[in-house]
Structure 1
Amino acid sequence: MSARYNSVARLVSPGRFILACDAVSEELPPDFVRIRIEFCGVCGTDRSFYLGHRDEGYPISLGHEHCGTIVGVGDHVTTYQVGDFVAIDPNFRCGSCRYCRIGAGHLCESSTINWYSNRGYAKFIDIKASYLLKLPEYRSRHLGALVEPLSVAINATDISKCTLAEEPTLVLGAGGIGTLLIFNLLEAQDGDIWIYDKARHKTAALKDLYPSRIKILDSADDRVFSVVFEATGSSDGFLHGCARLAKLGRLVVVSRYHSDEPAIPDRLPWKQPNIYFVHLNGNGDSFHKAAALMKSSWSPDHDHLLSFHPLSNIDKVFAEYGSDHANKKIITME
């Protein structure tokens, strides 16, 4: 491997990214690979750091929905080789702690160990090979950036045990994770679905893709649902989900609340609901499912839900986040 310089977008304070230029060593730890990152999705968690709702110290590198090509392998790596196109599951799983043993590796006791040089808003990353999944040949490489968030959506769907053909189902929020929830539900099952987002252009874009299977909920409509997926990222969305829930209903919370933790409404217990908080992508099986579903079902028409932005414009992407009408934003490294 020849020496390179790495461009890394670092958040140095709330509302301010800088592009740093780091020297890259020619040496790799024996169980690491070096990846040239090609695409990285923008997640609501990244935005919460940008807004200052989470503070884990600055500067910090962000981006965890990344994919790219392996350009170097350590001496002990045998399962991957230079040229492999891979997605990165950001969840470290030791394989031996109590949570890993019971199939809850996303809660691994060693999950905070970060075996990588930086996160996904960068040109290169050095990372332990256990984080990787080799991807199939996609019609376009940007689909790899959707694998990790889709794996979270698949895990949420699995937890819900939702059956569209038999249960009235609502997805609140049509941003990145909400869009992938809707995509997974409609591609994996028969039946229709209700959706709601304050940004009507986002629900309209999804309705255009699935005109006979999506129903857009009007805020004045007082109907209730057996299953509600809450993916708005706001406490107002959580309260809306509680209000829409039928008796004995299932509320599946995919949002991560960083600035305004919601309280349980006083009357909600009367419905005897089941509430599930989805954390990451579960035991990791959903990562493989997501890679396969992107290959089989994400069409060129679905690409109209996406917008693409160069790494050099990352500060503008976050500063003008609300003015971009795409359901999902992706940073490109080219």
Structure 2
Amino acid sequence: MLTSSNSVARLISPGRLILTCDALGQDLPRDFIRIKIEFCGVCGTDRSFYLGHRDEGYPISLGHEHCGTIVAVGDGVTLCRVGDFVAIDPNFRCGDCHYCRSGAGHLCVNGAVNWYSNRGYARFVDIKDTYALTLPKYRAPHMGALVEPLSVAINATEIAKCAISDEGSLVLGAGGIGTLLIFTLLETQEGEIWIYDKEPHKMAALQALYPTRVRILEDTDDRVFSVVFEATGSSSGFALGCARLAKLGRLIVVSRYHADEPAIPERLPWKQPNVYFVHLNGNGESFPKAAALMEESWGQDHDYLLSFHSLSDIDKVFSEYGTLPANKKIITME
């Protein structure tokens, strides 16, 4: 007998998340799986919904950096089985449209189709099997919640085809995505990373982890860089990235702006820069790469960059988000 009820966190209006009790059906569609969610990361996109910067109607469920164990499968499922520990790539790609055939599945014209019952801030999700990736046996299961955002970071480095420059590269923003960008660059390339964030403790945590390779950019330092990653989520971060970019440099924008759209700084065209806007995790090829990199390189010391919060406290996590010290917040369902 399958579990018959499900706790789901739903945003019913800006600034108000509540837990609802939903019924779970006893029968799954033949190509669906049921996952008992164990962890789900907090993303800046979730935060923008919470703040009312995006309105797609209420109530809505949030959370897309989730992992868990399959507890049931439909009759037609062949990609995975009960007991598999999986991460979810929440981006649907039809495989048939112009963008999918061109290798840009993240821009799929059918990408808004959602083959799942709810998002990741919940006890369970019923979801089409193609969304799931079976994970290696990790040191700790919460690592699965980092696979999706890490795949975005990996895609950002690959789409811009850039390596750490000789003078070091700059990452603006040391929140979840920024932290995973720094992790990706340091674990896959040689050289130094300069970082900047408005919250000094986030920069200090990364420098403590990589004391010989992470350098903190001071406000009084006017150096420029040929490679700049912008992951602050704000237009002021975009302006700072443009100011810190050298002539012919590469600016890789990972932020998804909503209510605070950036204007193009007046002098930026004079630098003849290459500007890349990175959307989601690309065509999805970075997803298994992220799963492998987590297994190879995310050690116990990296866990000090994380904080864990129960599902019952989710509204508090979002309302007090700015005062929580960790670089990356994760909701646990236990």
- Per the normalisation by structure 1, the TM-score is 0.99
Q: Do the aligned partners of 1:167 and 1:227 also contact (CA within 8 Å) in 2?
A: no
Q: Do the aligned partners of 2:238 and 2:262 also contact (CA within 8 Å) in 1?
A: yes
Q: Deviations over 1:186-216 (max 9, x none)?
A: 0000111100001000000000000000110
Hey, what's the Cα distance between the residues in 1 that align with 2:55 and 2:167?
A: 40
Alignment-derived partner of residue 326 in structure 2: 326
Residues 1:239 and 2:239 are matched in the alignment = yes
CA drift at 1:161: 1.9
Alignment-derived partner of residue 317 in structure 1: 317
Alignment-derived partner of residue 169 in structure 2: 169
SS in 2 for 1:68: strand
Hey, what's the Cα distance between the residues in 2 that align with 1:2 and 1:86?
A: 19
SS in 2 for 1:40: strand
Q: Do the aligned partners of 1:160 and 1:227 also contact (CA within 8 Å) in 2?
A: no
Alignment-derived partner of residue 192 in structure 2: 192
Superposition map of 1:32-181 within 5 A = 32-164=32-164, 166=166, 168-181=168-181
SS in 2 for 1:71: strand
SS in 2 for 1:78: coil
| Change beyond 3 A, Cα 1:107–1:166 | same
SS in 2 for 1:48: helix
The alignment of Structure 1 onto Structure 2 pairs a total of residues equal to: 334
Q: Do the aligned partners of 1:41 and 1:65 also contact (CA within 8 Å) in 2?
A: yes
Q: Do the aligned partners of 1:170 and 1:194 also contact (CA within 8 Å) in 2?
A: yes
Q: Deviations over 1:150-204 (max 9, x none)?
A: 0000000112222225353100000000000000000000111100001000000
Hey, what's the Cα distance between the residues in 2 that align with 1:275 and 1:79?
A: 38
Q: Do the aligned partners of 1:164 and 1:189 also contact (CA within 8 Å) in 2?
A: yes
CA drift at 1:29: 0.5
Q: Do the aligned partners of 1:37 and 1:125 also contact (CA within 8 Å) in 2?
A: yes
Hey, what's the Cα distance between the residues in 1 that align with 2:156 and 2:71?
A: 34
Unaligned runs of 5+ in 1: none
Alignment-derived partner of residue 216 in structure 1: 216
Alignment-derived partner of residue 305 in structure 2: 305
Q: Deviations over 1:106-126 (max 9, x none)?
A: 111110000000000000000
Alignment-derived partner of residue 267 in structure 1: 267
Q: Do the aligned partners of 2:93 and 2:105 also contact (CA within 8 Å) in 1?
A: yes
Hey, what's the Cα distance between the residues in 2 that align with 1:167 and 1:227?
A: 9
Hey, what's the Cα distance between the residues in 1 that align with 2:201 and 2:142?
A: 23
Q: Do the aligned partners of 1:104 and 1:283 also contact (CA within 8 Å) in 2?
A: yes
Counterpart code for 2:76: H
SS in 1 for 2:318: helix
Alignment-derived partner of residue 24 in structure 1: 24
* Percent of aligned pairs with the same amino acid: 76
Unaligned runs of 5+ in 2: none
Hey, what's the Cα distance between the residues in 1 that align with 2:69 and 2:207?
A: 34
Alignment-derived partner of residue 282 in structure 1: 282
Counterpart code for 2:49: F
Counterpart code for 2:41: G
Q: Deviations over 1:117-149 (max 9, x none)?
A: 000000000000011100000010000000000
Instruction: Quote the RMSD (CA, aligned, Å).
Output: 0.8
